[in-house]
Amino acid sequence: MSARLILSAAAIGLMSTTAIARDLMFNDVDVTADLTVIEDTEAAAFWNTLETDLESRLLALLADQIDENGARLVVNVESFAVEEPLAPFTVENAALSGRVHVVDLSNNANFESFELSVRLEGLSVQNADGAEVLATDIAPDMVYSTLVDSFAERIVDRIN
């Protein structure tokens, strides 16, 4: 089934500091996620390449803002699901939460730090005919890429 994803506002940004200028450049993107804390084997397989995938997506979105003298973008993924932490992993409870930092050693006015969460709640999925598809019917790889893409897009929206 071919599905088209339409994301509604599913991101929450909390605890922001100063606003960043629109012409901010970056020289480094660093994503960390402690995947060793995941005990559920299905969840571990689902999130296996999270650091690399999120970093790659951020670099693609920031491609025109890369400069060797730019700031550093640091993303610490802290949570992989919003539902009860002891509940078994399911695609429906898949979510990303983390803290994002912009560190510019040459201009401290560019510093920003905020929390961000994205989850399937608020996600509308339609098949090729426009009929709504339940989240439980979405393929796990599509859920994963949607969460990673959405998380990266919300970061870039916030820092620009």
Sheet with 123-127, side-by-side order of all strands: 3-7, 123-127, 132-133
Tokens representing residue 141 in the block = 């790889």
According to the model, what pLDDT value does residue 126 have? 62
According to the model, what pLDDT value does residue 17 have? 36
Amino acid at 35: L
According to the model, what pLDDT value does residue 127 have? 65
The rounded mean pLDDT for the chain is 77
According to the model, what pLDDT value does residue 121 have? 63
From residue 124, alpha-carbon distances to 7, 121, 127, 130, 133 in Å are 6, 9, 10, 11, 8
Q: Tens of pLDDT along 117-146?
A: 988 765 555 666 877 766 666 777 777 888
According to the model, what pLDDT value does residue 135 have? 61
Q: Which residues of the chain are modeled with pLDDT < 50?
A: 1-21, 82-83
Tokens representing residue 138 in the block = 């979405």
CATH architecture of the region 3-159 = 2-Layer Sandwich (3.30)
